[in-house]
């Protein structure tokens, strides 16, 4: 099961930028590192527990990569041995992450980059994690990806930002393959929405499968009670009960 340092949309700053994490020993696994993520990780004490960080990226909107440079440089100068990379960044090749990090002032020597193609399985042995990227539809100007992850033998889907659920992923959900299904869900509901509204989510996923679905990336209008009454789970930011 993943935890979330933040679970809000780009403009729902109260909840923090949407970012999931998993910790095993002193190794931190992180999905995305948005504008508020580094600060929230520091303030929560989570970073202070880590001597290695693995961060997987879904796309390059600022609320998903905005403090990635801070995380990389913190890993280089503060975590572990000074001036040695402690952060490994995983990203589909289409995201051009090295160029982004160059513009953030993070030199190649400060991190380890592992790029891959969608469908290619990547393994992090020390965490018993395997994952592969799934192209999803979000905004036309960016390549965007969700992930199918296997963590400690539990299969998980993480949608990233998207306005759809790919047919192959939905088939796995209704077939009982996923132990947890994290889906970008918002209250906003209009034509050409780049996120998936709660109304559409309820149309796509029947009541029998909703207990495995966790609504994340919540906008300001999102109604937690409404989602839970429909049978969905709702992600909460780290520390909130």
Residues facing 130 on adjacent strands: 123, 150
Please state, in angstroms and rounded to a whole number, the distance separating the CA atoms of residues 62 and 17: 9
Please state, in angstroms and rounded to a whole number, the distance separating the CA atoms of residues 123 and 104: 27
For each of the chain's 241 residues, which pLDDT tens digit applies? 899 999 999 999 999 999 999 999 999 999 999 999 999 999 999 999 999 999 999 999 999 999 999 999 999 999 989 999 999 999 999 999 999 999 999 999 999 999 999 999 999 999 999 999 999 999 999 999 999 999 999 999 999 999 999 999 999 999 999 999 999 999 999 999 999 999 999 999 999 999 999 999 999 999 999 999 999 999 999 988 7
Domain locations along the chain: 3-234
pTM (predicted TM-score): 0.98
Q: How far is CA 201 from CA 65, 79, 136, 168, 210, in A?
A: 26, 41, 15, 16, 9
Angle at 207 between CA 204 and CA 209, to 5 degrees: 80
Q: If you write DSSP's letter for every residue of 100-157 in order, what string do you get?
A: HHHHTT--GGGSEEEEE-TT--EEEGGGTEEEEEEE--S-TTS--EEEEEEETTEEEE
Pick the CATH number of 3-234 from 3.40.50.300, 3.40.228.10, 3.60.15.10, 3.40.50.880: 3.60.15.10
């Amino acid at each position: 099961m993943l935890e979330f340092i933040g679970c809000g949309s780009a403009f729902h700053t109260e909840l923090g930028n949407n970012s999931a994490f998993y910790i095993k020993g002193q190794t931190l696994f992180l999905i995305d590192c948005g504008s508020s993520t580094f600060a929230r990780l520091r303030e929560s004490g989570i970073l202070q527990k880590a001597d290695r960080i693995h961060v997987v990226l879904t796309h390059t909107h600022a609320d998903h990569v905005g403090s990635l440079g801070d995380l990389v440089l913190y890993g280089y100068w503060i975590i572990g041995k000074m001036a040695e990379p402690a952060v490994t960044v995983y990203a589909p090749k289409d995201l051009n992450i090295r160029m982004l990090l160059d513009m953030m002032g993070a030199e190649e020597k400060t991190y380890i980059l592992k790029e891959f193609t969608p469908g290619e399985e990547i393994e992090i042995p020390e965490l018993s994690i395997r994952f592969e990227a799934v192209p999803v539809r979000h905004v036309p100007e960016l390549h965007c990806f969700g992930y199918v992850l296997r963590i400690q033998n539990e299969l998980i889907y993480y949608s990233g930002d998207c306005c759809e659920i790919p047919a192959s992923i939905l088939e796995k959900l209704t077939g009982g393959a996923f132990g947890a299904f994290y889906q970008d869900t918002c209250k906003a509901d209009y034509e050409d929405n780049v996120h998936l509204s709660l109304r559409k989510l309820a149309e796509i996923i029947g009541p029998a499968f909703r207990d495995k679905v966790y609504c994340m990336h919540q906008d300001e209008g999102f109604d937690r009670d409404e989602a839970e009454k429909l049978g969905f789970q709702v992600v909460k930011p780290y520390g909130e009960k």
